[in-house]
Structure 1
């Protein structure tokens, strides 16, 4: 389906406004239909129906079905969509706080650390402070996982990043690696394998271990760092606040619980895939997996903190995210 603009769909939202009581909710994902994460999201949608005895049905749509991936927030506020499952960083242009809470590079060494921050460290409250003014309600968080790191050379800690030529996307990821002494370059994902193979780069921020293994990255970069130490994106599940407020307390609780259960399913599914790929990689005898000790992860986190501080200057909300996150990490002994 051709993606329509927000403006073109505003009239449609007026026509459907009368269906406020209708518990069939349209959510758009930031993942394509064939992506394994989207298949898990469809399972979440089915679980909502089960938990509410059919009172709430969620129609899960793949990316670009109704609007562009970075327009879902506006579409939800306008009533064109009812909700989304999406990477929060897509809205960093509206407020630097969205970018910082979406992926504070280096903050987490495990998906559960991010989920604990969201549910126990004030992250969920921050998300609603950010989203409510835009007409959205944060239901809960999930993540596609902590990215591993592919490298042609052994990396035992922060000191080995000095002068390392690596691929990293523009923005906070590049900033943090540069602050750690590396030499990041911006390359599209399609060029990572060839660039590693030809020696244009020595390492790359790419994706999770199982995907790296499946795509042959370890054939040309046999020194992966796993578990990873840098990037763990927040995927938010949010919906139109007016529709959320129209739900009963029991329905709201059911939705919140469904998202918490879904996040655990996604994290455990990915961990299983990573561990299977890890076993295969080690069995080959050609790959050396490097697991950074906690003190090296803490060093990298401290370097990253300096870059978070710069982002925090972008808005009052971003400063609040920074203050809340760093307080939590210090409290947990992670910084």
Structure 2
């Protein structure tokens, strides 16, 4: 016969403690540190939509961090100038920032391959695909951390549409009109336009319109209808040449000081990384609305003559790209020049050959369907 044994008080407490212990062990180990505040500067004027995109990234990170991490956004020039951002983040003067890799082109031209690449990518989504799934991120770290010893961690984000050839007092109708033109651009596009005979000047966004107005430059590109409109381009030039191979693909770069980033718990590092992915998607949706509205507004209310870059100019750009790429890949003056530049280009070409072949064969033409539904209305 079984004996009915009732547990004593000590037995109940022991059982409760064991159960509680099991619950504690099953709870995810999430750190409970105090709020970490990071100073995060953009390379954009506060009124530019690019600064708004930087704010969108910051807002997502702050919301997902649940009060344990806060990015405090500053506009270009608040601490350092736009072209000094990478140095400031590497030195710890700033904790992070939002810009484009092409701005560090003066340190090594390979930086532009993570921003304003040659036109072998079909669009900037393919560039981001290469970075995250085609080996690009490892090559980026090799350039930034291993070769140049820059003390930053970076993520690419925010696919940009094709950039316009730019703003001019007189329209560009022939390739020979580029020769001798004082023209603003950045990154590898500077080498490209110089190859075509332009006198290239690289300026940050906030300085372009004043230079164009004073005649310091004859023509300039920045990026998109929304930025160009708010920066005041329609007030100083009326010919807006769209479609170009000088910068058909670009994306943003989010930077953090490496010691500061490495000191964060893993879940906050993930928040910074995945916040870039979330902001990238949101930006690709937002720009559809804003860019299209601003292009129409400039044409309809500000007297801007919007016209496509003529085919002979585009062909001349592609021929110039061939010469620029060949020259830069053959530059053996140091290990950080031609060899690494070619290594990155080879990786991109392999990706683009396969991915471009897929999309060009697989996707139905949007031109045909657009014309069917809208060309008659």
When normalised by structure 2's length, the TM-score is 0.65
Q: C-alpha deviations, 1:210-248, integer Å up to 9, x for none?
A: 44466464996556324x432244431121223333334
- Residues 1:97 and 2:120 are matched in the alignment: no
Q: How does 1:303-322 map to 2 (within 5 A)?
A: 303-312=320-329, 313=331, 314-322=337-345
1:184 corresponds to which of 198, 203, 207: 198
Indicate the SS of the match to 1:84.
strand
Partner of 1:141: 157
Q: 1:81 to 1:185 in 2, by over 3 A?
A: closer
Indicate the SS of the match to 2:246.
coil
**Residues 108 and 229, structure 1, Cα contact 8 Å, conserved in 2:** no
How far off is 1:318 after superposition? Answer: 2.4
Partner of 1:327: 350
Cα distance in 1 for partners of 2:34, 2:86 equals 21
Q: 1:191 to 1:26 in 2, by over 3 A?
A: closer
Cα distance in 2 for partners of 1:35, 1:175 equals 26
Cα distance in 2 for partners of 1:297, 1:333 equals 19
Partner of 2:223: 207
- Residues 1:168 and 2:183 are matched in the alignment: yes
- Residues 1:23 and 2:41 are matched in the alignment: no
Q: 1:105 to 1:249 in 2, by over 3 A?
A: same
Q: 1:255 to 1:224 in 2, by over 3 A?
A: same
| Worse-matched range after superposition: 146-155 or 270-279 | 146-155
How far off is 1:21 after superposition? Answer: 7.6
* Aligned CA-pair RMSD: 3.9
Q: 1:229 to 1:93 in 2, by over 3 A?
A: closer
- Residues 1:72 and 2:95 are matched in the alignment: no
Q: How does 1:253-268 map to 2 (within 5 A)?
A: 253-268=270-285
How far off is 1:30 after superposition? Answer: 1.3
Aligned length in residues:
304
Partner of 1:54: 67
Between structure 1 and structure 2, the one with the greater Rg is 2
**Residues 106 and 300, structure 1, Cα contact 8 Å, conserved in 2:** no
Cα distance in 1 for partners of 2:108, 2:200 equals 24
Partner of 1:127: 140
Cα distance in 1 for partners of 2:122, 2:310 equals 10
Question: Gaps spanning 5+ residues in structure 2: where?
Answer: 1-32, 332-336, 361-377
Cα distance in 2 for partners of 1:276, 1:218 equals 18
